[in-house]
Amino acid sequence: MKPMQPVRGTADLMPRQKSQMNFVVEKAIMIAGRYGFQSMETPIFEFTEVFSRPLGESSDVVAKETYSFEDRGGTSLTLRPEGTASVMRALISNGLTQTLPQKFFYSGPMFRYERPQKGRMRQFHQIGCEFIGTFEPLADAEVISCAAHLLLELGILDKCKLYLNSLGDAESRDKYRSVLIGYLKDYSASLSKDSQRRLALNPLRILDSKAIEDREIIKNAPKLNEFLTVNSKEHFKRVTDALEKSLINWQLDTNLVRGLDYYSHTAFEFVTDALGSQGTVIGGGRYDGLSSMLGGPNIGAVGFAAGVERLTFLIEKTEEFKYDVAVIIADDEASMDAFALAQKLRSVGLKVDIPFASQLGKKLKRANSLGCSLSLIIGKDEINSNTLQIKFMESGEQKKIAKSEAVAFVERLLKS
Ligand code: HAM
């Protein structure tokens, strides 16, 4: 039998990668906290309708990428492909629509049946922030600033460019949609198969197409920003003015439409060219229509999500896990005392290993390879004299200390 492999598009997060991802998530919690986003968590699966309507039946995510299944009771469920719809559903389910605004942070696995490649997985991880309960443009600027702040904190802001667009309000998009259809119809035979399908279902998404045959046609298409209503223009100006006031660089990308149906007004992405074709590390925008799509009231909201794997690729954190101390059993009779000593050291916050090997030399060798700066050696003689041998791994120097003083001594040495 062939050894089992993880499912295509999934990955085991082995300690090195997991610790880097933890580092990213911890930084995100810290930065999000400065903006008032509080951690919450929604279930990994939801009723299929939570995603199908808000994200758009014709969106790639819903049409081709969801992991949907019937459970044993015949209910259609979907593994969450993203967090925003679930968070909004949770806000409504928990009766929080009367106590707005609310600011939420979340992190966890998401699932999309996409073609796997570097930076694109079928199970991946996102961190996200959602600012729910305001139509105020400064909230968009705050969310974008928070995302930029996270990149800065991770030391990768200079590797990313911020692209912005305004999708306007429904009136702006309706006006634009009919003009765009009029333009694209003349080229419909030359469009990619996907875009031909989108022409009837969701023509705006054609602007986002990566197909070469579409790119040429899109280049000369009318631009959405020429059809924005006065209110939509004013909204976008307040967002970009606020960003400029706080020295956040941005670039207009009139083709940035994002892949999900719930967006209006501001749409944004932080993109890097250091990751090949999967260069979008953060995506977000305003989603004022989402609450009503889920049966809730008309609520303004804006947020972003970042791909944790993609952020992790960009950071240069190569620190390996290191122990502080090894407790070395020199004679079998000392095993229990050594075990108890290791526990005491752990309880004061130190990382402690008890190397298991057949010979003392091998145990010390392991202590070295684990990065321990000290080894505490305990054998028959030490038990009889209530002492320990302490070995300084770098110099090789060794000395005897009283057992009763060992923990305080090591703590002082390693924590100073
Ligand atoms: P999204 O652009 O679909 O937006 O995803 C956000 C980020 O998740 C992407 O920029 C990327 O870094 C990461 N990502 C997406 N798909 C994959 C994948 N297959 N493999 C690895 N990473 C991936 C959303 O999900 C929206 N919910 C963002 C949002 C929040 N809008 C408003 N609030």
End position of a domain, from candidates 314, 341, 359: 314
pTM (predicted TM-score): 0.93
75 located within any domain = yes
- Quote the domain boundaries for residue 366: 325-415
pLDDT-derived band at 3, boundaries 50, 70, 90 = confident
Do 411 and 294 reside in the same domain of the chain?
A: no
Do 73 and 146 reside in the same domain of the chain?
A: yes
Do 267 and 366 reside in the same domain of the chain?
A: no
pLDDT at 410: 95
367 located within any domain = yes
Do 257 and 398 reside in the same domain of the chain?
A: no
Do 298 and 392 reside in the same domain of the chain?
A: no
Q: Is the CB of 283 inside a 6 Å radius of any atom of ligand 1? A: yes
pLDDT at 277: 87
Q: Evaluate if residue 179 carries a pLDDT over 90.
A: yes
Left, alpha or beta for 80 (phi > 0: left; psi -120 to 50: alpha)? beta
What's the CA gap between 279 and 9, in Å, rounded? Answer: 18
Cβ neighbours of 154 (radius 10 Å):
23
CATH number of the domain enclosing 354: 3.40.50.800
Q: Is the CB of 90 inside a 6 Å radius of any atom of ligand 1? A: no
pLDDT-derived band at 259, boundaries 50, 70, 90 = confident
pLDDT at 37: 98
Q: Is the CB of 104 inside a 6 Å radius of any atom of ligand 1? A: no
pLDDT at 52: 92
CATH number of the domain enclosing 103: 3.30.930.10
Host H or E run for residue 184: helix 170-185
Q: Which residue among 124, 134, 161, 288 has the greatest number of ligand 1 atoms within 8 angstroms of its CB, and so is best to mutate? A: 124
Cβ neighbours of 325 (radius 10 Å):
28
Centre of ligand 1 to C-alpha 280, Å, is 8
181 located within any domain = no
- Among 55-59, 208-212, 312-316, name the most confident range: 312-316
pLDDT at 61: 86
End position of a domain, from candidates 295, 314, 333: 314
121 located within any domain = yes
End position of a domain, from candidates 279, 294, 314: 314
Q: Contact 327/352 with Cβ under 8 angstroms?
A: yes
Centre of ligand 1 to C-alpha 306, Å, is 6
Do 119 and 47 reside in the same domain of the chain?
A: yes
Q: Evaluate if residue 153 carries a pLDDT over 80.
A: yes
Residue with tokens 């999309």: 112
pLDDT tens-digit series, residues 303-319: 999 999 999 999 977 77
Centre of ligand 1 to C-alpha 254, Å, is 20
What's the CA gap between 127 and 132, in Å, rounded? Answer: 16
Residue 325 corresponds to which tokens in the numbers above?
A: 């101390």
Q: Contact 151/306 with Cβ under 8 angstroms?
A: no
64 located within any domain = yes
pLDDT at 364: 96
Centre of ligand 1 to C-alpha 128, Å, is 9
Average pLDDT in the chain: 95
**Residue 204 has what DSSP assignment?**
G
Return the minimum-mean-pLDDT range out of 3-7, 51-55, 153-157, 292-296: 51-55
Left, alpha or beta for 178 (phi > 0: left; psi -120 to 50: alpha)? alpha
Do 128 and 240 reside in the same domain of the chain?
A: yes
Do 336 and 409 reside in the same domain of the chain?
A: yes
What's the CA gap between 41 and 108, in Å, rounded? Answer: 8
Centre of ligand 1 to C-alpha 398, Å, is 54
320 located within any domain = no
Do 93 and 235 reside in the same domain of the chain?
A: yes
Centre of ligand 1 to C-alpha 83, Å, is 9
Q: Is the CB of 294 inside a 6 Å radius of any atom of ligand 1? A: no
pLDDT at 416: 77
Q: Is the CB of 147 inside a 6 Å radius of any atom of ligand 1? A: no
Say how many domains are in the chain: 2
**Angle, alpha carbons 231-140-221 (nearest 5°):** 60
Average pLDDT over residues 226-250: 97
Q: Is the CB of 60 inside a 6 Å radius of any atom of ligand 1? A: no
174 located within any domain = no
Centre of ligand 1 to C-alpha 307, Å, is 6
Average pLDDT over residues 194-215: 88
Do 289 and 348 reside in the same domain of the chain?
A: no
pLDDT at 129: 98
Do 53 and 128 reside in the same domain of the chain?
A: yes
179 located within any domain = no
Do 256 and 390 reside in the same domain of the chain?
A: no
